[in-house]
A and B are shown apart, each in its own frame.
Chain A
Amino acid sequence: MRKRTLKRGLTAFWWLTLAFLYLPLAVVVLFSFNASNSAATFTGISLRWYHRLLGNEEILSAFANSMVLAIVSSVIALVIGCLIGYGMYRHRHRKLGWLIVLIYLPIVLPDIVFGISEMAFFVQVHRLTGLLQPGLPTMIIAHVTFQVPFVALIVYSRFVGLDPTLFEAAKDLYATPAKRAVHFMLPTIKPALISAFFLSFTLSVDDFVISFFTAGPESATLPIYIWGAIKKGVSPEINAIATLMIGAVAIAAIISLVFSRRRPA
């Protein structure tokens, strides 16, 4: 009897929490279709803010910057992180404490410390050498730095989950080192590489603080643009662009659900 009341209470709490989690997003989506530019009252459905988006070159270029940044940094991080992940696996019996510390450093460092360190460093290097002017390249460098550990850990854990004799079987079946990489290792860790790429991509698109401090005047990404727009005073256009980003996340969520369904456990 008491057990059932507990369960009912928990169910109610669950739905309340879900409401808490989705209310802010729902408000953004709802007001993106608001006919008036009031942030408090909904007066009717219209797509005027979406029409405005298409004409806003700043937003379009911010979108392009976000995409270039996310894709380029994820690809670089995938290559570097994959190598580290394999190295960590292959030499896991050695003392690699220093490497573990190095890999966890970008993960545990607070965003803000990460961002200002990079900024201070890039500014000084630029002053002294003329290289690394703040802009997309510096942002890419910073993003790769925080993506690499995640890629490395995903790849590493995939390798650890494999039967180690598979590596020996590949050798035994006449695969040269290069062929082992192409015909055995890469295909075997392909799922890990895909999820590492998507995680890196998400981390990059999601990031605001580190991008904010490493960006140059021409390289604003979508979050930086939105930030600026909020600071200047709320415009309903932000609701529209934010809704599009929420929509992208929702699609990603559905894809990941379908993926996890298809492969049991």
Chain B
Amino acid sequence: MNDTLIADAADAQVRRTATVESAREASAIQMQGLHKRFGRDTVALDGVDLTIQAGEFFTLLGPSGCGKTTLLRILAGLEEADDGRLAIGGRDVTEVPPHRRSVNTVFQSYALFPHLSVRENLAFGLKMRGMPPEEREARVAKIAEFIQLGDLVDRRVDQLSGGQRQRIALARALVCEPDVLLLDEPLSALDAGLRSQLQVELLRVQKRLGMTFVFVTHDQQEAMVMSDRIAVLNGGVIQQVGAPREVYEHPANAFVARFMGHDNLYPVSARSGNRLTTPLGELIAEAPGEGGLLLIRPETLDLLPGEVVGDNHLPATVAERLYRGSHAEYRLEIGETTLQATLNNRGRRLPEVGDRVTVTVAPEDLATLSE
């Protein structure tokens, strides 16, 4: 059992470039049956099986308390799983303590050592590994150039702003050239502008290094922007694993759908072939699936002025409109039921509150999912 786990992981090795000339292998991660309880009653992880590919930007997404941080801490070795196995880069590390794992973490609070200068912070991991001083300095200089730290390296930690600390924390982890880099909500303490700027920077770094990144966040927008793949967690259980588009457009269940920001979920009360009966009326879906809930994404809807009759044409009243410049968000009423719609602002007339309109949706944009 263990042997296959390790063999799988070894197969998944991919060449990657590193900050230094010598190219190293990126590492895959294999998790099997990970369980973790805190105290007697709190279940943090309830049987997690997951494979993260080498060189992937992988995101663990979920609300607070879903187990994503526990999972990350188990990867780092800061927490020990009660049950299950973990292999990184083809090596079983389930019981390896953090200081002997080639894994580094960018902490949410950055955790820069206050008694050390920025330069000493950057060199800390290398020093602990017993690297001679000249080599350490060379590596630190290289990473400083790579992350474009400029004169930040000569400052004291308490002279840094939040964004600067974040970049130092990233550099401190990267300079060790770990097999896997773990990031625990590293951008959550920053304001929106800086945040999106650092998202781009982080993504660029990951692509250039080809290193395996495991990123934890509760922000689905951030997850979609950055990830190659996303795992959505809830209650210590993985709900869905997939590429951002897959998770957003084809959520596996209602939890994932709601967490990705979808509100238009309607129970299917009856179906015959492609025809689904919902509180909105009868709708035709191209490939409806077997689920009992119909998901309608707001951006797939179109609004026609007046009443137009046809398949997938629903008469509605505009109850509310939020104008956002590039687009407008609508709350529509169809009988007793409300429906959210997003309309791109292409210069057409945007329906006003109180207008009678017709909502249309293409059959291929409709899908059902289970509760």
Contacts and interface: CB of A to CB of B under 8 A. Distances in A.
A17 interface: no
Nearest to A162: B114
Interface stretch (A83-91, A119-127, A163-171): A163-171
Given A173-B128, A174-B125, A174-B176, A168 B115 contact: no
Interface string A142-164: 00000000000000000000010
Interface stretch (B104-112, B279-287, B325-333, B354-362): B104-112
Contact of A173 (B108, B114, B115, B124): B124
Interface residues of A, number: 18
A228 interface: no
Interface residues of B, number: 27
Contacts of A179: 128
A190 B173 CA distance: 25
A165 B72 CA distance: 14
Contacts of A171: 77-78, 97-99
A163 B99 contact: no
Contacts of B115: 187-188, 190
Contact of B98 (A165, A168, A184, A187): A168
A235 interface: no
B105 A168 contact: yes
Given A165-B111, A166-B111, A169-B105, A175 B78 contact: no
A163 B189 CA distance: 15
Nearest to A186: B115
Interface string B114-143: 111000000011011100000000000000
B172 interface: yes
Contacts of B77: 171-172
Nearest to B184: A165
Nearest to A185: B115
B146 interface: no
A163 B108 CA distance: 11
A176 B124 CA distance: 12
B144 interface: no
A8 interface: no
B113 interface: yes
B276 interface: no
A172 B98 CA distance: 5
Contact of B176 (A166, A173, A187, A190): A173
Nearest to B116: A187
Contacts of B113: 166, 169-170, 184, 188
B91 to A, nearest CB: 16
B103 interface: yes
Contacts of B172: 173
A195 B97 CA distance: 34
A187 B172 CA distance: 19
Interface of A: 163, 165-166, 168-176, 179, 183-184, 187-188, 190
10 contacts: A165-B107, A165-B111, A169-B111, A171-B98, A172-B76, A172-B103, A172-B125, A175-B99, A176-B99, A187-B115
Interface of B: 76-78, 97-100, 103-105, 107-109, 111-116, 124-125, 127-129, 172-173, 176
Q: What are the 4 A-B residue pairs with the smallest beta carbon separation, nearest first?
A: A173-B125, A169-B111, A165-B111, A171-B98
